[in-house]
């Protein structure tokens, strides 16, 4: 192993030192070619937890077909439906509908492909198959359901891909 010195004060330092303990200077660090960072506790836990199962995220994509376009939500993600472009990635689909709230509803698809919709306290309500969703309550949505935001915007729910029922 080569002897290293601090570039500021010249004192001997170890390769793993990040600062010089004499003058406080930051030391350059060049990783060894085979140097691998030590995994964190959570990385060890996640890796150990996945090994016996070897499960991934479902390939299911939930599609809601609105008159203004489709909203696709892949498994393991969520989308906020509403008119506020700072909050909703799909705000353009609802921009011309004044009765759709800025933060109207959230649609989530879990890793196994199960979907829910939650009204975010909208002014004019969220409906699944004409039943009003209680604000803050998760309601399961499935292939073939119809959702409505306020009075004007109706979308049809369809699943693209096969759900993973082994994780139900």
Which domains does the chain show, CATH number per domain? 61-167 (2.60.200.20)
Quick one: average pLDDT of 78-98?
92
Using 50, 70 and 90 to split pLDDT, how confident is the model at 167? very low
- Looking at the DSSP bridge assignments, the partners of residue 155 are 147
pLDDT of residue 63: 92
Burial of 126 per CB tally in 10 Å (0-12, 13-18, 19+):
buried
Q: Which of 25, 95, 37 is nearest to 66 (CA)?
A: 95
Is residue 166's pLDDT more than 50? no
Report how far residue 52's alpha carbon sits from residue 112's, in angstroms, rounded to the nearest whole number: 17
Is residue 2's pLDDT more than 80? no
pLDDT of residue 30: 58
Q: In this predicted model, what pLDDT tens digit does every residue of 136-164 receive, in sequence order?
A: 999 999 999 999 999 989 999 998 865 44
- What is the 8-class DSSP label of residue 162? -
Using 50, 70 and 90 to split pLDDT, how confident is the model at 165? very low
């Amino acid at each position: 192993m080569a002897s290293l010195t601090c570039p500021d004060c010249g004192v001997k330092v170890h390769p793993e030192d990040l600062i010089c303990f004499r003058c406080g200077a930051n030391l350059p660090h060049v990783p060894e070619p085979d140097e691998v960072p030590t995994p964190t506790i959570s990385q060890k836990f996640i890796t150990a937890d996945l090994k016996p199962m070897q499960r991934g995220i479902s390939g299911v994509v939930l599609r809601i077909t609105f008159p203004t376009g489709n909203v696709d939500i892949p498994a393991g993600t969520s989308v906020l439906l509403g008119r506020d472009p700072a909050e909703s990635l799909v705000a353009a689909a609802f921009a011309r509908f004044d009765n759709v709230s800025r933060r109207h509803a959230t649609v989530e698809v879990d890793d196994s492909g199960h979907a829910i919709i939650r009204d975010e306290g909208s002014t004019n309500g969220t409906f699944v198959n004409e039943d009003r969703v209680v604000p803050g309550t998760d309601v399961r949505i499935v292939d073939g359901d119809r959702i409505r935001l306020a009075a004007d915007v109706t979308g049809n729910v369809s699943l693209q891909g096969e759900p993973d029922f082994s994780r139900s």
